[in-house]
Amino acid sequence: MHGKEARKVLKIEAEAVGALIRRIDKKFDEAIGLLSECRGRVIVTGMGKGGLVGQKISATLSSTGTPSLFLHSAEAIHGDLGRVTKEDVVLAISNSGETEEVVRLLPLIKKIGVRLIALTGNPRSTLGRHSDVTLDVSVKKEACPLGLAPTASTTATLAMGDAIAVCLLKKKGFRQEDFAFYHPGGALGKRLLLKVEDIMRRGAANPVVKEDALVRDVLLKITEARAGAASVVDKSGQLTGIFTDGDLRRHVESDKHLVVRKVKDVMTKAPVTIPKDHLASEALRILKDRRIDEVPIVDAKHRPIGMLDVQDLLKAGLV
Distance separating alpha carbons of residues 116 and 93, to the nearest angstrom: 11
Residue 72 is labelled as binding a ligand:
yes
Q: How far is CA 179 from CA 57, 173, 191, in A?
A: 16, 11, 12
Closest CA to 309 of 294, 290, 288: 294
Whole-number Cα distances in Å, 94 to 32, 97, 103, 166, 288 = 19, 5, 9, 22, 52
Buried-state track 260-273, b at ≥16 Cβ within 10 A, e below 16: ebebbebbbeebeb
Residues belonging to the binding site for Zn(2+) are 72
